[in-house]
Structure 1
Amino acid sequence: MRCEYFAAGLCASCTVIETPYPDQIAHKQERVAGLLAPLAPDLTWLPARASAEQGFRTKAKMVIAGTVDAPTIGILAADGTGQDLRDCPLYPAALAQAFPVLAEFVTVAKLEPYSVPRRTGELKNVLVSVAPDGALMVRWVMRSTEALARIRKHLPWLQDQLPTLAVASLNVLAEHKAVVEGEREIVLTERETLTMSVNGFDLHLRPQSFFQTNTDVAAALYRQASAWIANARPASLWDLYCGVGGFALHAAAPGRAVTGVEVSEQAIVSAQRTRDERLAEGDQAMADVEFITGDAVGWASSRADAPEGIVVNPPRRGLGESLSRWLDASGARTIVYSSCNPDTLARDLGWMPNYRAEQARLFDMFPHTGHGEVAVVLTRP
């Protein structure tokens, strides 16, 4: 895939974009297999799940810079000024078509872009997600609520220009630090969630809930994990770091007790909503599904008994020694580990010698970079 921004030296985010895509997949596979080989010499690798080469990102984290009258929407250049990336080929048409309107809204609502070198201004980022049906969630990340009244006043203009806008919010990030968003969120629309339909499940994404940026590949990941769980047939299952419930809901089955645990209360509310909707539609697989707000490490280690199956999907830092060793001693018959960081995956598996890694599969969530999602199914001999 050719990117004019990369060719001109304006953006280097896609570090391996000049490598043919099949070779990118092969290199990722070789790296991950090399990390896991000492721990699981008999591991069977299923065919890697590739992605579309462009138009695959369903979430954009765009830095706003420039001026009120001439804002840029993209990334920061090396000198701290803005580099516009509104034509980046990674984004589908629904996002690409929204970027010019969002940039114009900066001018309409007089939102002063934040200047990193001068540490002045208000608007830092705009975070945009698109659902499979084309609906949009737009989050304005500001230093304060100074512009809240103007955003509310001009929101009808934005909704008129972007008829697919479903959810809009203002996020407050007062500190000058390298993070994308803050803790405080003010929802500005009647709707508070974006419906991500994945494999027939309507997952409700709230503004601060985590969701994969490549919905198509995420759907394949859920299907694979569900197939491994179905083959193991556990009577009870935990989904640790469950987010909005993707793995737990896919793995539910009549008579199977499923518990999802996630520290984000927003995500748990979303997962519960999906479960309740499915129950109302007569899906009896949801009858024994519950979702709990809590820290995965503390919650699991406090339980007297472990389930027969466990799914873990931790952030890049991995499970860590405490939870890995707890899992190793848990006695669960089957563990499905979904990892976005092969290095911490290999480290964690080193703390779980009582389990045998049977099958693994690479899911390429992030083409043109060195990152990849890996799922492994572990069994207790």
Structure 2
Amino acid sequence: MECGYYDRDLCRSCTVIEVPYERQLDRKQRLVRDLVDPHGAPRWLEPVASAEAGFRNKAKMVVAGTVGAPTLGILDGARGTDLRDCPLYPEPLTRALHALAEFVARVRLLPYDVARRRGELKHLLVTVNPEGRLMVRFVLRSTRQLPKIRDSMDLLRELVPAASVVSVNLQPEHKAVIEGPEEILLTERSELVMSVNGIGLRVRPRSFFQTNTAVTERLYAQAADWVRAADPASVWDLYCGVGGFALHVADPAREVVGTEISEEAVASARDTARSLGLPDSGPGSVRFLADDAAATPADLPGTPELAIVNPPRRGLDTSLCAWLEGSPVRHAVYSSCNARTLARDLARMPSLRPVEARLLDMFPHTGHYEVAVLLRRA
């Protein structure tokens, strides 16, 4: 992939962009195999490659520069580097970033100055769905410039007509945390619908969703294939997020429970389940609970026949590994963004052996990836 920002040494986020993509994919495959194979030598399916450009569905832009000439991108020290034309973004997202920069300038929103700890607008977070509709979030230090945005919503709709959800997030602290706990909606709609394999997943402003929609489709489809073959009567989806895995494995003869610590994500998952007409109890049900995944086994009656786990980079809690190891769970699907913690967790659960695995390249031109593994009790 060609990138003018990289060539001009303005952005080095894509750390392996100079490596041919096939070689990038091969390196990741060898890395995850070396870490997983000692725990069971599963059958490795063909890696899932990504498009090399235009694959990111979300832009997290630092706002810097001046009132009349803002930059949207990253910081080089205290100075902003504008990255609106980053080739990782699809065309609808790039177009929206240019329009939002114009909006910020015309409304005269004051960019936050990191060095001086002055100003208001810290970040713009923009998500695009497969149909080109957008979620736009302004991250402000305080509510001082909220009235300017609220009073200029007609201009925002004119400049960014694809914006379905618009909100303000408040992050008052001076630290490297992108967003804060308070969200103020400025539109009637509160959720962006992300269509994945025909399922319209609802995503609220503070809900996590994978950044590569096309590869996410393949990830959910792979998990659904494994679950279909195992044919369990009950499934628990731990760390369920907005319900992607749980909703993909729903079946009239199966009870599915998803748990997630984020109440926003659980609300989104419940909304999607309702839109699909899925009951929340009995056969064919899909139920979502706001709970810590590590605590879930103690909070729910019984034991599922199959468990899905999709933890953050730190991997599973020791207590959850111990519960899975000692439980009668027959199969597990482990989706990981860090094969090192995956390998550590496999060592903690020696009774659950990897039988099939697949690398899915969510993040081309970097060292990051997703790997999914089907585990079966020995």
Bin of the TM-score, shorter chain as denominator length: over 0.9
Please tell me whether residue 344 in structure 1 is matched to residue 331 in structure 2: no
Whether 2:226 is the aligned partner of 1:258: answer no
For 1:18, the equivalent position in structure 2 comes to 18
Q: State the AA in 1 paired with 2:107.
A: A
Mapping 1:230-241, distance limit 5 Å: 230-241=228-239
Please give the secondary structure, in 2, of the residue aligned with 1:149: helix
Secondary structure, counterpart of 2:152 in structure 1: helix
Post-superposition offset of 1:176: 0.8
Distance 1:201 1:286 in 2: 20
Match of 1:53 in 2: 52
Contact 2:142/2:171 (8 A) holds in 1: yes
Match of 1:288 in 2: 285
- Does 1:173 pair with 2:177? no
In the alignment, which of 360, 363, 369 is matched to residue 357 of structure 2? 360
Q: What does residue range 1-381 of structure 1 map to in structure 2 within 5 Å?
A: 1-40=1-40, 42-77=41-76, 79-279=77-277, 287-381=284-378
C-alpha displacement of 1:301: 3.4
Q: State how far apart, in whole Å, the 2-side matches of 1:161 and 1:38 are.
A: 54
Matched to 1:341, the amino acid is N
* Equivalent pair of 2:194/2:203 in contact (CA under 8 Å): yes
Whether the 8 Å contact between 1:46 and 1:359 is mirrored in structure 2 is yes
Normalised to the residue count of structure 1, the TM-score between the two structures is 0.97
Structure 1 residue 286: deviation in Å?
A: 8.4
The separation in 1 between residues aligned to 2:78 and 2:14, in whole angstroms, is 19
Q: Determine the C-alpha separation between the residues in 1 that align with 2:298 and 2:313.
A: 21
Q: CA deviation at 1:378?
A: 0.2
Letter in 2 for 1:269: A
Q: Give percent identity, aligned residues only.
A: 55
Q: Secondary structure at the match of 2:139?
A: strand
Name the CA distance, whole Å, in 2 between partners of 1:352 and 1:109.
56
| Shift in CA distance, 204/231, structure 1 to aligned 2, threshold 3 Å | same
Q: 1:286 to 1:255 in 2, by over 3 A?
A: closer
- Alpha-carbon separation, structure 1, partners of 2:297 and 2:107: 47
Cα drift, residue 304 of structure 1: 4.7
Cα pair distance change 1:353/1:206, threshold 3 Å? same
Measured against aligned partners, the alpha-carbon deviations of 1:37-70 in whole angstroms (never above 9, x if no partner) come to 2222x21110000000000000010100001111
Answer yes or no: is the 8 Å Cα contact 2:32–2:339 preserved in 1: yes
Q: In structure 2, what is the Cα distance between the partners aligned to 1:81 and 1:301?
A: 50
Gaps spanning 5+ residues in structure 2: where?
Answer: none
User: 1:195, 1:323 → 2: CA distance?
Assistant: 32
Letter in 2 for 1:355: L
Superposition CA RMSD, Å = 1.6
Report the CA distance between 1:278 and its aligned residue.
Answer: 1.2
Q: Distance in 1 between matches of 2:245 and 2:333?
A: 10
Residue identity in the other structure for 1:118: R
The DSSP-based 3-state class of the residue aligned with 2:39 is: coil
- SS at the partner of 1:2? coil
Amino acid at match of 2:74: I
> After alignment, is 108-117 or 159-168 more displaced?
108-117
Amino acid at match of 1:132: P
Give the residue type in structure 2 aligned to 1:64: V
Secondary structure, counterpart of 1:37 in structure 2: helix
Q: Measure how far apart 1:225 and its partner are.
A: 0.1
1:319-341 Cα distance to aligned partner (Å, 9 max, x none): 12111111111110010000111
Give yes or no for contact 1:25–1:364 (8 Å, CA) kept in 2.
yes
1:4: how far off? 0.6
Q: In 1, Cα distance between the equivalents of 2:268 and 2:218?
A: 21
Task: Give deviations 1:328-372, integer Å, cap 9, x for gaps.
Answer: 111100100001111111111111011110011001000000000
Please report how far the alpha carbon of residue 242 of structure 1 lies from its aligned counterpart in structure 2 after TM superposition: 0.6
Deviates more, 1:153-162 or 1:9-18: 153-162
CA distance in 1, matches of 2:297, 2:11: 42
Q: Which whole-Å CA distance do the structure 2 matches of 1:340 and 1:286 have between them?
A: 32
Q: Which residue type is aligned with residue 287 of structure 2?
A: E
Measured after TM superposition, the shift of residue 270 of structure 1 is: 1.3
After superposition, the C-alpha distances for 1:114-152 in whole angstroms (9 at most, x for unaligned) are 111111111110000001111000000111111111000
SS at match of 1:208: coil
Distance, in Å, in 1 between the alignment partners of 2:267 and 2:12 is: 38
* Separation of aligned partners in 2, 1:287 and 1:231: 17
Q: For structure 1, which runs of at least 5 residues remain unmatched after alignment?
A: none
CA distance in 2, matches of 1:342, 1:356: 15
For 1:46 and 1:351, the matched residues in 2 are separated by 24
SS of equivalent residue, structure 1 residue 279 = coil
Q: Give 3-state SS (helix, strand or coil) of 1:97's partner.
A: helix
CA distance in structure 1 between the partners assigned to 2:224 and 2:27 by the alignment: 27
Equivalent pair of 1:43/1:359 in contact (CA under 8 Å): yes
What is the identity, as a one-letter code, of the residue corresponding to 2:306?
G
* Residue 273 (structure 1) shift: 1.4
Q: Is the 8 A contact 1:108 1:154 kept in 2?
A: no
